Amino acid sequence: MKSDLIVVCGGGGFIGGHLVADLLREGHTRIRSVDHKPFDEWYQLFPNVENVQLNLQEKDACSRAVKGASVVYNLAADMGGMGFIENNRALCMLSVLINTHLLMAAHEAKVGRFFYASSACVYAADKQTSPEVIALKEADAYPAMPEDGYGWEKLFSERMCRHFREDFGLEARVARYHNVYGPLGTYKGGREKAPAAICRKVIEAKLSGDHSIEIWGDGKQTRSFMYIDDCLKGTKTITHSDIVEPINLGSNELVTINGLVDIVEEIAGIKLKRAYKLDAPKGVNGRNSDNTLIKKYLGWEPSVRLRDGMERTYRWIYDQIVQEHPAGRKFSTAAA
């Protein structure tokens, strides 16, 4: 029902803001967007939505957040790109309080559907040692050896969702996101992920005249990247499905980091000299999404090619950078 209350936790973030916008486009009239950040730091803020600033690590805040809700989307977490994850493991682990308290509050409030945004970082490290990685199936999360800190928090929270469903009847659904990107996301400051970081570096090199770029690692590590529009469609489909086990939500279009730089250079119309920072955080050597189950059960597959999504992302970041820097100001090409 369009009049049922939908709560988006983490609504001030990148994916959460896009989800709120998408729900509004669909005609939903009661949306509560919840985030810990001050309103002026929200990625998107909508006047026709109930916007609430709460610290969801606290149980009472979670109870206030989900009161009267029919559907709860939990996208809230303290996280960022690989640089942030590897250097802030305790902060990432503390996000377990958010999901735990939200599950407790959702159970008490008799919420109809609960969605948890997990991550491909739950997958065992020994299955991601080569750039020529075999696409990761859902079963590859066990025996458990996830990304230290962030991955362990996600895997534990998946189990919490399972047991709240089994023990208390809460209709919890879990998607394992694989590198979501797109416009209106973080592109500087240390929390940005590879697509946005590379776009920013190429743009700064182009505008500064310093035609060089620093790449973390050797550039041979492989990943897949899912455009935000595909993420939103998949998230809503999973939430209202009968799929009770965690399921992959990602693109299976594998690319090296060097290949991603090639794409952005082509979009920008420039070739850059590459310097490789081998001691920088780079994550696993290879990671890709096996979409067999989600295609079989839900008929979902990504619709946006990496090249097309990266062009949209590049154009948005370019406009932001041009607006931020007065004409003639020198740009820094240092990694951030």
Q: Which residues are catalytic?
A: 150
Q: Are the beta carbons of 4 and 71 closer than 8 angstroms?
A: yes
41-48, long-range: CB < 8 A, 24+ apart: 41/12, 42/11, 42/12, 42/13, 42/17, 43/12, 43/13, 43/14, 43/16, 43/17, 43/184, 43/185, 44/12, 44/17, 44/18, 44/20, 44/184, 45/12, 45/17, 46/20, 46/21, 48/24
How far is Cα 120 from Cα 177, in angstroms, rounded to an integer?
Answer: 6
| Residue 82 host element (H or E) | helix 82-87
Residue 257 CA, distance from chain mean position: 18
Query: For tokens 């991955």, what's the residue?
Result: 151
Cα–Cα distance list, 234 to 107, 117, 254, 260 (Å): 24, 11, 19, 24
37-40, long-range: CB < 8 A, 24+ apart: 37/12, 39/12
How far is Cα 129 from Cα 310, in angstroms, rounded to an integer?
Answer: 26
Q: Are the beta carbons of 146 and 287 closer than 8 angstroms?
A: no
Nearest to 307 by CA among 259, 270, 258, 269: 259
Q: Could you give the 3-state DSSP secondary structure of residue 71?
A: strand
How far is Cα 73 from Cα 259, in angstroms, rounded to an integer?
Answer: 34
